[in-house]
Amino acid sequence: MASTSKKLLPFFLFSIFSFSPISSRRRHYHHYHPLDPLTPSELNIIGSIILRSYAGSNHNLTFHYVGLDEPDKPDILSWLSNHNSTSNPQPRRAFVITRLNKQTHEIILDLSTKSIISDQLYSGHSYPVLTLEEQTVANELPLTHPPFLESIKVRGLNYLMWYVLATLLGDGTVNLYVRPLEGITVVVDLDKVKIKEYYDNLEVPVSKAEDTEYRLSAQKPPFGPHLNGATIMQLDGPGFVIEGHSIRSVTPSLHD
């Protein structure tokens, strides 16, 4: 689907934490770890490398995943046992999943050389996670689809009033999700940005807005007022220490 070549689409980034035991003999913190998550500057480098490599054909390029390409476990264990101020760090690599020209690319980049070392087309049966832009487009397509408008009418709803009230005012309730439109299934072709299949097999009446208030401030006895909150304290402090991107236990016996 169409996208701007000079902008990175939203994607999910996951921070990766490393866990290792702490001992009284070795508690110093190292500013570098092979499993440190990608930094904002590294993400910018990744975007620039990929957009440059597809210059002229990236008008419909979308980023579906960008994350650290983790080193093999033996390499990490070797680094943990031998690393010091003069040791060579593990190479930083990134794993990226993109969609271009209706094809899924799995790309591995070397951040030290700022180059692509692997670019393979994925030919499996599944697809990458949806981007925020794709979800937005898929949600908006039914709003102008004639069969969907007919389904709204069959349920006794005025489309314009339903859309405005449901999206802006909750149609008389603050809990919009207790009044869903059920029984409708829509299949969207995201590459062509069009509805491929539409099914309305079950006409479920839309419930009324009365008695759907769930906020504590609006509850009446016996559901309110609620009890005062309780506070839990750890007199000896937490059982772990966060150092950079690492979480270390302060109880060595946990690792005995």
Q: Which of 2-11, 70-79, 141-150 has the lowest mean pLDDT?
A: 2-11
Residue with tokens 């509805």: 195
Instruction: Provide CB contacts within 8 A for 165, sequence distance 6+.
Output: 171, 172
Instruction: Write the pLDDT tens digit of every residue in 125-142.
Output: 888 989 999 999 998 898
Q: Answer whether residue 89 shows pLDDT above 60.
A: yes
Residue 149's CB is within 10 A of a number of other CB atoms, namely 13
Closest by CA position to 91, among listed 106, 73, 109: 109
Number of helices (H) and strands (E) in the chain: give both, helices first.
Answer: 5, 9
pLDDT tier for residue 93 given thresholds of 50, 70 and 90: very high
Instruction: Provide mean pLDDT across the span 66-73.
Output: 93
The pLDDT, as a whole number, for residue 238 is 83
The pLDDT, as a whole number, for residue 156 is 74
Closest by CA position to 37, among listed 78, 108, 94: 94
Give the E-state strand segments of 123-245 in sequence order: 184-189, 194-200, 240-243
**What domains can you pick out in the chain, each with its CATH number?**
1-129+219-256 (3.10.450.40), 132-214 (3.10.450.40)
Specify the DSSP class assigned to residue 26.
Answer: B
Phi, psi dihedral angles at 57 (to 5 degrees): -135, 15
Q: Euclidean distance between the first and final Cα of the chain, in Å? A: 53
Instruction: Write the pLDDT tens digit of every residue in 20-46.
Output: 333 333 333 344 788 889 999 999 999
Residue with tokens 């409708």: 184
User: Mean pLDDT score of the chain, rounded to an integer?
Assistant: 76
